[in-house]
Amino acid sequence: MKSNTEKFGKTPHQPSLWTRADALKVHADDPTTTQPLVSADFPVLSNEVFIWDTMPLRDLDGNITSVDGWSVIFTLTADRHPNDPQYIDENGNYDITRDWNDRHGRAKMYYWFSRTGKDWELGGRVMAEGVSPTAREWAGTPILLNEQGEVDLYYTAVTPGATIVKVRGRVVTTEHGVSMVGFEKVKPLFEADGKMYQTEAQNPFWGFRDPWPFRDPNDGKLYMLFEGNVAGERGSHTVGKAEIGDVPPGYEDVGNSRFQTACVGIAVARDEDGDDWEMLPPLLTAVGVNDQTERPHFVFQDGKYYLFTISHTFTYADGVTGPDGVYGFVADSLFGPYVPLNGSGLVLGNPSSQPFQTYSHCVMPNGLVTSFIDSVPTDESGTQIRIGGTEAPTVGIKIKGQQTFVVAEYDYGYIPPMLDVTLK
Ligand code: FRU
């Protein structure tokens, strides 16, 4: 049987491995890699909608960008249904937990704007109903292309299938706010190929989503990161010596970990505009370790490539575990080899007393980490929870060589611009 990495041939690069040995070093509640407790009395952005994955407007180099002094974020968004009989329980109360848990099926892309980098005002939907070809508009990245305000929104069109797509529009500002115009023609870019990246036919639980385009600071070419799983029929993957790594005696048993096959995918553009893409072998695989490496993104710092990706406790394989949060890897060149930050990969995890307090962290080049509030316990036992669906307090981390440290906490949803573009 072919090993997981043999699938990718000799060129152009071999994926780096997040091994089971690396993951054994993951420890929740280390204060340097744990998100401060989120208080249950958090404010909500909106009583009409839930928001989760947050996508700040940025340029292709990764800089968070405001336009004419307005900060802009895109969010995955779903209506709240406090009065919908479907979500009223037998006691006549709104079952917000069920409403929240169902949100993925009706996710839509919305945008928000602000003068202060927080206190976001709702702009509205980015695409009109019927423009996006599938039921779900899943995560991606809005890119400000130029001083004319043109924006390429890369995102994932899901159900049926999962296709990485893009749609072009324009951001327009006035003294009073921001609007998005255009965003009328969605262009499919690519889907999983079944050779490098797992397809739905190979595994109904496959992941293929979350495009993050960028310009490589070294070769200047346009690339894109995305979330995938390593190709192959579900259950056919091998968790061999390479995937296990250097474990102590007694840790060789991999259980059923062959079902966890996450990877961070990469594609390169064949054209300047990013309309024509070629998928390359993954940058990083987590076979036998974890089934999801979501929303991968980079911070380019000190001449190094810092690769971040979010993951869950429930997606870890047998015999390894870690908190929900953001994990990171560092390399000296784009194609690796990548080594886990802090030895384990864990950069910012939820505290074990509030395991679901936040998710979908995005590390920005200024060291600020934004995320959303999922649910926070409201009693000692943790049986009562308050659902979030809103922005979490921003956390500051310091990235130093192969280590990271939590160093600051800021206001809810604080996403300050790194540069301002005056539109022409
Ligand atoms: C992360 C995520 C993304 C996906 C979206 C779906 O929170 O799972 O990977 O695009 O949420 O709602």
CA of 138 to the centre of ligand 1 (A): 6
Q: Report the candidate in 313, 292, 317, 156 with the shortest Cα–Cα distance to residue 230.
A: 292
Residue nearest to ligand 1 atom 8, measured at CA: 294
What CATH number does residue 120 fall under?
A: 2.115.10.20
Report the number of distinct structural domains present in the chain.
1
Say if residue 197's pLDDT is above 90.
yes
In a domain, 422, yes or no: no
Say if residue 148's pLDDT is above 60.
yes
The reported pLDDT for the residue numbered 267 is 98
pLDDT band per the 50, 70, 90 thresholds, residue 380: confident
pLDDT band per the 50, 70, 90 thresholds, residue 313: very high
In a domain, 156, yes or no: yes
pLDDT digits (tens, 9 = 90+) for 150-183: 999 999 999 999 999 999 999 999 999 999 999 9
pLDDT digits (tens, 9 = 90+) for 118-143: 999 999 999 999 999 999 999 999 99
pLDDT band per the 50, 70, 90 thresholds, residue 10: low
Say if residue 1's pLDDT is above 60.
no
Q: Residue range 109-117: average pLDDT?
A: 98
The reply to whether the predicted model has a pTM over 0.75 is: yes
Instruction: Tell me which amino acid residue 43 is.
Output: P
* Pocket test residue of 165, 208, 210, 313 for ligand 1, highest count of atoms within 8 A of CB: 210
Say if residue 365's pLDDT is above 70.
yes
Supply the mean pLDDT for the chain. Answer: 97
In a domain, 423, yes or no: no
CA of 412 to the centre of ligand 1 (A): 20
The reported pLDDT for the residue numbered 250 is 96
CA of 90 to the centre of ligand 1 (A): 30
Residue nearest to ligand 1 atom 12, measured at CA: 104
What does residue 32 show for φ and ψ, rounded to 5 degrees? -80, -15
Q: Which residues of 154-175 are buried (b: 16+ CB within 10 A; e: fewer)?
A: bbbbbeeebbbbbbbbbbebee
Tell me the C-alpha to C-alpha distance, in Å, between residue 98 and each of 71, 314, 383. Answer: 32, 19, 15
Catalytic sites, residue numbers: 53, 294
CA of 313 to the centre of ligand 1 (A): 15
How many Cβ atoms are within 10 Å of 192's Cβ, its own excluded?
27
Q: Largest Cα–Cα distance in the chain?
A: 66
pLDDT digits (tens, 9 = 90+) for 324-347: 999 999 999 999 999 999 999 999
Q: Residue 332 sits in which domain range?
A: 4-417
Say if residue 73's pLDDT is above 80.
yes
Q: What does DSSP assign to residue 217? A: T
Q: Which atom of ligand 1 is nearest to 103's Cα?
A: 12
pLDDT digits (tens, 9 = 90+) for 76-99: 999 999 999 999 999 999 999 999
Q: Which residues of 306-338 are buried (b: 16+ CB within 10 A; e: fewer)?
A: bbbbbbbbebbbbbbebbbbbbbbbbeebbbbb
CA of 10 to the centre of ligand 1 (A): 32
Question: By the 8 A CB rule, do 187 and 154 touch?
Answer: no
Q: What percent of the chain has pLDDT over 90?
A: 96
Q: Which atom of ligand 1 is nearest to 53's Cα?
A: 7
Q: What percent of the chain has pLDDT over 70?
A: 99
Q: Which of 359-363, 367-371, 376-380 has the weakest average pLDDT? A: 376-380
In a domain, 424, yes or no: no
Q: Which atom of ligand 1 is nearest to 52's Cα?
A: 7
The reported pLDDT for the residue numbered 11 is 60
The reported pLDDT for the residue numbered 39 is 98
In a domain, 161, yes or no: yes
* Pocket test residue of 138, 141, 373, 375 for ligand 1, highest count of atoms within 8 A of CB: 138
CA of 271 to the centre of ligand 1 (A): 28
Say if residue 2's pLDDT is above 80.
no
Q: Residue range 394-409: average pLDDT?
A: 98
pLDDT digits (tens, 9 = 90+) for 256-277: 999 999 999 999 999 999 999 9
Instruction: Tell me which amino acid residue 359 is.
Output: Y
CA 117 – CA 121 distance, rounded (Å): 11
Q: Residue range 40-68: average pLDDT?
A: 98
In a domain, 314, yes or no: yes
* Pocket test residue of 53, 74, 163, 373 for ligand 1, highest count of atoms within 8 A of CB: 53
- Ligand 1 pocket, Cβ-based, cut-off 6 angstroms: 52-53, 76, 104, 107, 138-139, 156, 209-210, 227, 294-295, 359-360
In a domain, 107, yes or no: yes
